[in-house]
Structure 1
Amino acid sequence: MTGQTAENPAATLLARLGAACWSLGAAESLTGGLLADRIVQVPGASATFRGSVVSYATDVKRDLLGVDAGLLAAHGPVHPLVAAQMATGAAQLLGTELTLATTGVAGPAGQDGQGVGTIYLACAHPGGVWVRHYRLAGGREQLRASSVDLALALGAAAIRPTGNKQDAPGR
């Protein structure tokens, strides 16, 4: 993998996954494919990255990723357990060791009682599922881009270069 620098979080994550012999998948809502795009910009990404499910609609989260219908009905798609279930559902679907999920509100208006900038990210890996909550400021594109950066960092934190899991930042 080339371009492994702190300035390229996708390359960093892919290098760590490659060293661990783990594959990567994603379940995207908020980011709408931007996470996958950032990953596939890294030369050699296909050695590790299996794919991404863009589950923008709530019924796709339920029907394709297996997110609990009762959870979605009670809380809507912007919820920490939704992010966790998106990640685990995509991991099963894609057969990956590490799977990232993004859900949140990029605006212009809030959704289901959640304000613009409410973000939930999840990382499913062999040691479990980590979920992080953020309240970010900025416009729609800035929120989506920041969410991608945070998701990539969360994924990289889930493994050491040797492939061992470690505690995620913020724990």
Structure 2
Amino acid sequence: MYLFSDAITQLATDVIQESQKKGWYVATAESCTGGLIGGALTDIAGSSAVVDRGFITYTNKAKMQVLGVKAETLKAVGAVAEQTANEMALGAIRKSSANIAVAVTGIAGPGGTADKPGGRVHLAVANRDGVMEHRQMDYGDIGRLNVRLATVTTALEMLLKAAKS
């Protein structure tokens, strides 16, 4: 079975096409998806004209070292939070040639807590002017793979919206 659905493939194609029309580069900063967003984008022929780079920052240490997420942020709100996703997206912009970047951090499951249940994901899209959009998604306890694929879909939708703006 192929990992990406037709819907994900179409979204990724649309992101590539819209970004290419503007001459834009895209970057990803991924935690819970582990590179799947970048994988969906680079699965599209011609993506090398648009995809600048992807950062897989699974640990807090990586988020700080690679993307510049503040230790204070992680201590105050943790990895799965709006501010963390925003800092990840801004870090991806700073550390790349991208015009737009998407960041995701969440709990794919199983597990979680009452405050941060399994299936909760924070996504942020940023450009060179700052954070454009944040979304908190509560996909629920739908299984690790399904949370990750739902996150890819949401991330691509957010990138497409940013590319069309």
The two structures have a TM-score, normalised by structure 2, of 0.90
RMSD: 1.6
Equivalent residue number for residue 133 of structure 1: 136
2:89 is equivalent to residue 93 of structure 1? no
Partner Cα separation in structure 2 for residue 66 and residue 18 of structure 1: 28
Instruction: Provide closer, same or farther for how the CA distance between residues 7 and 24 of structure 1 changes in structure 2, counting only shifts above 3 A.
Output: closer
- The one-letter amino acid of 1:155's match is L
Task: Quote the offset at 1:50 in angstroms.
Answer: 0.9
Unmatched runs of 5 consecutive residues or more in structure 1? 166-171
Residue 159 of structure 2 aligns to a residue in which SS?
helix
* Counterpart for residue 42 of structure 1: 44
Q: Provide the rounded CA distance (Å) in 2 between the counterparts of 1:112 and 1:64.
A: 30
Q: Secondary structure at the residue paired with 1:53?
A: strand
Number of aligned residues: 157
Aligned to 2:19: 17
**1:155 aligned to which of 156, 159, 162:** 159
**Structure 2 gaps, min length 5:** 1-6
Offset of 1:112 from its aligned partner? Answer: 9.0
Runs of 4+ in 1 over 2 A off after TM superposition: none
Which residue identity is paired with 1:133?
Q
Q: Distance in 2 between matches of 1:27 and 1:6?
A: 18
Asked whether the 8 Å contact 1:6–1:12 carries over to 2, the reply is: no
Counterparts in 2 of 1:112 and 1:83: CA distance versus 1, 3 Å: farther
Change (3 A) 1:24 1:7: closer
**How far apart are 1:6 and its partner, in Å?**
8.4
Question: Structure 1 CA distance, aligned partners of 2:30 and 2:8?
Answer: 23
> Using the alignment, how far apart are the partners of 1:6 and 1:110 within structure 2?
26
User: Which has the larger share of helix?
Assistant: 2
Report Cα offsets for 1:80-100 as digits up to 9, x if no partner.
010010001011111210101
Change (3 A) 1:111 1:61: farther
Match of 2:86 in 1: 84
SS for the counterpart of 2:98 is coil
